[in-house]
Amino acid sequence: MRIALAIVASVALSACATTARLHSQDELNAIGQRCGVQLGEIFQDESEKKLVFLFKPGATTEQRGCVSRWARRNGLKTVFVDNIAFPGS
């Protein structure tokens, strides 16, 4: 009985743990189009598969929410890049 309970518990816990995967740029572009952002403004980095980046200065609340909801459903965290400063500028 205890073994069966342990097996059921481990299966239930493993169902909750999702491993992040690297989405193709085509997949990310499709999400971007649904969320109203331009091609290439949503991306992932191979070294941090659990993060999805929205590189869109001035993104609206709706755009941010749309990307965040998709990321959450896919076990990802959203990083918003609002501005970037280059050396010497």
The pLDDT profile of the chain, 89 residues, written as one tens digit per residue, is 555 555 555 555 555 555 778 999 999 999 999 999 999 999 999 999 999 999 999 999 999 999 999 999 999 999 999 877 778 76
Give the position of tokens 């205890």.
2
Q: Which pTM value belongs to this model?
A: 0.73
Note the maximum CA span of the chain.
Answer: 68
Whether 7 is in a domain gets the answer no
Question: How many domains is the chain built from?
Answer: 1
What does the pLDDT read at residue 87?
Answer: 82
**Which residues neighbour 3 within 8 Å (Cβ) at sequence distance 6 or greater?**
none
Q: How far apart are CA 34 and CA 15, in angstroms?
A: 28
Structural domain of residue 25, as residue ranges? 20-81
Whether 32 is in a domain gets the answer yes
Nearest to 30 by CA among 70, 72, 79: 70
